[in-house]
Every structure is written in structure tokens, then in C-alpha cells.
């Protein structure tokens, strides 16, 4: 019985270790410019009306709702993206989707509500 229990514990540890690997990096709002300097493009996943009200200069808009419907038009797996929204919730969801689609991304833990830099 002890051997079976020991094997079960080992199997669970192996499975847990395989599933706990971080899928992508999450950064603070203060690190966005650094990532931009490294060649990442800002991908704003808010709805168009929110994006038009003010966004990081040069950012592309691809709403989370489009990504959830499988619309990846305009996105390139050869590009690196900084995924941002208003508060951090939608960017996490979008990052999960984009990572599954083999995009190189970093997620921003906060959002535009915390952005103090220039907007257009």
C-alpha cells in the first residue's frame, strides 16, 4: 500500500510540475516602454470606442471580443505583442488566447487606467 501511495504521489508531482510552467510573462505598466524598446508592439484589446478615447501612441486595436471569436486578422505570429486593456482583466484573457495561437506576448497586469504616459 505504501509503494502504491508513493507512486501516486510521485505521479501527481510530475503532472503538477508539467502544468505549472508559466506560459508567458506578465509585466507592470511601468515596464511597457522597456518592452516597446525591445521591439514589442502594443496590442490594445479594448473595444474600438475605448481605444479611440485614448491609447498608447502606435498601439494596434484588436478587441478581446474579436479574439474570442477566432478573428486574428491583422496579427502576425512573427511579431511580439504587449497586451493591454483598461484594467488588466481582458488583457489576461486575450493573452491566454494569443499564447494558445502561438503568438509571442507579454501581458500587462494593470491597464490604461494606470497609464501615465502619452496617449493619442
Which tens digit of pLDDT belongs to each residue from 23-75?
899 999 999 999 999 999 999 999 999 999 999 999 999 999 999 999 999 99
Domain ranges for the chain, please list them. 23-114
CATH 3.40.50.170 given to domain 23-114: no
DSSP state, residue 76: -
Which neighbouring-strand residues pair with 43? 60, 83
CA-closest candidate to residue 36, choices 98, 115, 99, 94: 115
Q: State yes or no: pLDDT of 104 exceeds 70.
A: yes
8, pLDDT greater than 80: no
Residue with cell 515596464: 31
The model carries a pTM of 0.81
Amino acid at each position: 500500500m505504501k509503494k502504491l501511495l508513493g507512486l501516486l504521489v510521485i505521479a501527481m508531482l510530475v503532472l503538477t510540475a508539467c502544468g505549472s510552467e508559466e506560459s508567458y510573462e506578465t509585466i507592470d505598466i511601468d515596464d511597457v516602454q522597456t518592452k516597446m524598446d525591445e521591439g514589442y508592439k502594443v496590442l490594445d484589446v479594448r473595444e474600438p470606442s475605448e481605444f479611440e478615447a485614448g491609447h498608447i501612441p502606435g498601439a494596434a486595436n484588436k478587441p478581446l471580443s474579436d479574439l474570442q471569436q477566432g478573428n486574428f486578422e491583422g496579427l502576425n505570429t512573427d511579431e511580439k505583442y504587449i497586451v493591454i486593456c483598461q484594467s488588466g482583466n481582458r488583457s489576461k484573457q486575450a493573452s491566454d488566447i494569443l499564447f494558445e495561437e502561438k503568438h509571442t506576448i507579454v501581458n500587462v497586469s494593470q491597464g490604461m487606467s494606470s497609464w501615465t504616459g502619452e496617449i493619442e
